Amino acid sequence: MARLILQTAEGQQAIELRPVNSLGRHPNNSIQLLDKIVSKEHCIIEQRGDHFVLRDLGSLNGTFINSERVRGEAPLRHGDEIALGSTRGRFDDPGAVAVPPQIPGWPPMANPQAAQQAPQVHGYPPPQASYPRSQHPGPPPGTPAPPYAAPPQQQPVVPPPPPLVAGPGGTAPLPGRPGAHGGSYVAQGTRIDVNDQARQIGTQIAAVDKGFLAFDRIANDMNQLRADYERLRLSHELSREIAAERDTTKLLEKILTSVFKFIRADRGVIFLRNDSGELTPQAMQRRDGTTAPISVSSTILNHVVQERAAVLTHDAAMDFAASKGKSMILNRISSAIVAPLVAPLQHNNEVLGVLWLDSETLAQFQPKDLELVTAIAYQAAMFIEINILGKKIENEIVTREQLRRLLSPNIAERVLSGQLEVKQGGQLVEECTVFNSDIRGFTRMSEDKKPEELVDMLNKYFERMVDTIFQFEGTLDKFMGDGIMALWGAPVAHRDDAVRSVECALKMGEVLGEFNRERLMIGELPLAVGVGIHTGPLVAGYIGSSKALSYTVIGDVANTSARLCSIALAGQIVISEATYAQLGGKFETEELQPARVKGKEKPLRVFNVLRSRPAAQVPANAPFHAEPTNARPE
């Protein structure tokens, strides 16, 4: 059985020949040669009767038999050495009948004299055989050849096959199958790596740090020591150049600049995932310094992300032919290294982005480049993640401050943590205490003040009152002119919300007293405030347009609280019976005359809060009376 014995990085590999065998780089060939200077469809070895013929398909770099370039086609003899690009092989068919001499002048030869000479096989004598003179030397290409047979009394003299030269790795021939002359048997349709120098297609390694072995384990391994030193050196240089950069855009540009120092790439792109998970280009660089757009292959990008592994390809169009990667051909992507930027554990080991490097040169990158790029990608991912997280923290700080200007701290924190979603709509709150306060005599006061002075006075007043509300973990609902509306129980509820609201109102009285003393010292009149508080069910949520939402409450409880505020005298804290029932006797109160308020058919039972009751007297429920001020709300 005729075989083709190829020298590869793994040793000699023997391929059993079929009647028709196509050789080339394209995966559709029956024998795919992973050789960077072999054509896609390089040559065909086909059987003609009892012998084989090699036909070159117009390959760019040619096909050689025993160092002679094949023009058209040439017969193969046992022991012939075949060279395609950097691939070396030997035709092995010890049982074949010798092929007669060729017709003079056909097929045409590059050297006419060489056609008349017996070929030399790397120092071995040419095969000797006697041929029957009556037979024609052979047909031209494309015509069936009659079978050749030596006369019974004459057998061809077959020399031993010349040995193949070992590849750079010095790999010895592997044991073959019985009857073979050495080498491992390989079935048809298998891709062949020609030698250590040849390219590897689709080589993949996991994008993780390989780590370093203890010195005593590799002290005698100079290659490993050299590789570890190189990794440490590159890691140090990369860290030194990018560690201090806090701007993500500049960081990505510096990463590409550093990579170009170590890897001979023509183009580089860094992709990062956006909020929707899509890869978007964030930085690009060309070795020639131009700013022309860079096209990349979505086929390879998707492969890297799905497999979560770095990829090295020497012929992208061939490697991903099954995916119909037309972009790789149109954009002249010959060699590419694509390494996923995998974030550390803090990022749930998700793919953060992709580092893309490519070249128009076939087989530009080697496996060692892939290892370097993978290590660089892993390290770069950590710096990128640090920058992204740092930027996220900065944005959260700014957002938190902005939200705190618009929302109460407890709402702002719940929004930032995702516990509260800012969207239109409301929900029923079974029990919420609503607080309303208003400055008495404000309209008359505003008539005598300049607008600037009035706004300045309100800002100082609101600053103190809002701080007090937040001190008792209330939610600021809104400002209404000189009025304040606050909530206890929405969106954050406590078991003692009614108590907190009343304590806040009493504290506001103390703070207002301090503020009034400051005003008196500069010749300003003191302010007087009335408060109304009511407790009950309501609807709370974000109300407004999609572009301007405000957290507030609606319902009878909110309206009743505002009505109680309107009947409160200056210095009074008027609470409803529902709120009073929640206080548990913790405050000294006086019951006022039933109040008639708008929207209510019957008068409401209301109370005025005087002061906090000492802890020892909390169980007692006897009200204490005090004379309220005579100021009435406007």
Say if 412 falls within a structural domain. Answer: no
In contact, 436 and 576? CB cutoff 8 Å = no
- Report yes or no on whether pTM surpasses 0.75: no
Residue 629: inside a domain, yes or no?
Answer: no
Q: State the total domains in the chain.
A: 3
Query: For residue 33, what are the domain limits?
Result: 1-197
Nearest to 313 by CA among 387, 363, 376: 363
Give percent above pLDDT 70 in the chain. Answer: 69
Nearest-angstrom CA–CA distance, 75 and 342: 55
Categorize the per-residue pLDDT at 36 as very low, low, confident or very high, splitting at 50, 70 and 90: confident
Q: Are residues 135 and 154 in the same domain?
A: yes
Q: Which of 69-78, 186-195, 539-548, 574-583 has the lowest mean pLDDT?
A: 186-195
Bridge partners, residue 219, by sequence: none
Residue type, 566: S
Q: Which among 81, 131, 80, 138 is positioned nearest to 104, based on CA atoms?
A: 138
CATH of the domain at 230: 3.30.450.40
**Are residues 263 and 337 in contact, defined by beta-carbon separation less than 8 angstroms?**
yes
Integer Cα distance of 82 and 553 in angstroms? 88
CATH at 434: 3.30.70.1230
DSSP helix/strand/coil, 596: coil
Looking at the structure, tell me whether residues 62 and 28 fall in a common domain: yes
Contact 43, 59 (CB under 8 A): yes
Which one is predicted more confidently, 105 or 414? 414
pLDDT in tens, 430-460: 999 999 999 999 988 888 889 999 999 999 9
In a domain, 115, yes or no: yes
Domain match, 219 and 310 both: yes
Residue 411 maps to a domain: no
Q: Return all residues near 462 (Cβ < 8 A) that are at least 6 apart.
A: 479, 484
Do 568 and 502 share a structural domain? yes
Amino acid letter, residue 350: E
Q: Which two tokens stand for residue 503?
A: 């304590």
The domain spanning residue 46 has which CATH number?
A: 2.60.200.20
Domain's final residue, options 197, 224, 246:
197
Same domain membership, residue 250 and residue 159: no
CA 233 to chain centre: 26
Q: Are residues 48 and 175 in the same domain?
A: yes
The answer on 220 and 178 residing in a single domain is no
Confidence of residue 630 (pLDDT cuts 50, 70, 90): very low
Residues counted in the chain: 634
Q: How many Å separate Cα 240 from the centre of its chain?
A: 24
Task: Quote the CA–CA distance of 334 and 357 in Å, as a whole number.
Answer: 11
120, part of any domain: yes
231 contact partners, CB below 8 Å, separation of at least 6: 372, 375
Q: Which are the contacts of 239, defined by CB distance < 8 A and separation ≥ 6?
A: 379
Judgement on whether residues 373 and 476 belong to the same structural domain of the protein:
no
pLDDT in tens, 395-432: 878 877 767 665 667 677 777 777 767 677 888 999 99
Q: What is the pLDDT of residue 618?
A: 54
The Cα–Cα gap between 132 and 113 comes to: 24
In a domain, 530, yes or no: yes
Judgement on whether residues 137 and 215 belong to the same structural domain of the protein: no
From the list 403, 578, 528, 401, the residue with the least C-alpha distance to 475 is: 403
- Are 356 and 438 within one domain? no
Same domain, 140 and 213: no
Q: What is the pLDDT of residue 298?
A: 80
Burial of 170 (C-beta count, 10 Å sphere; 0-12/13-18/19+): exposed
Average pLDDT over residues 551-555: 91
Cα–Cα distance measured from residue 286 to residue 269, given in angstroms and rounded to the nearest whole number? 9
Amino acid residing at 610: L
Write out the two tokens for 510: 């103390």
Which pair of structure tokens corresponds to residue 316? 């992208």
| Same domain assignment for residues 193 and 210 | no
| Residue 533 covered by a domain | yes
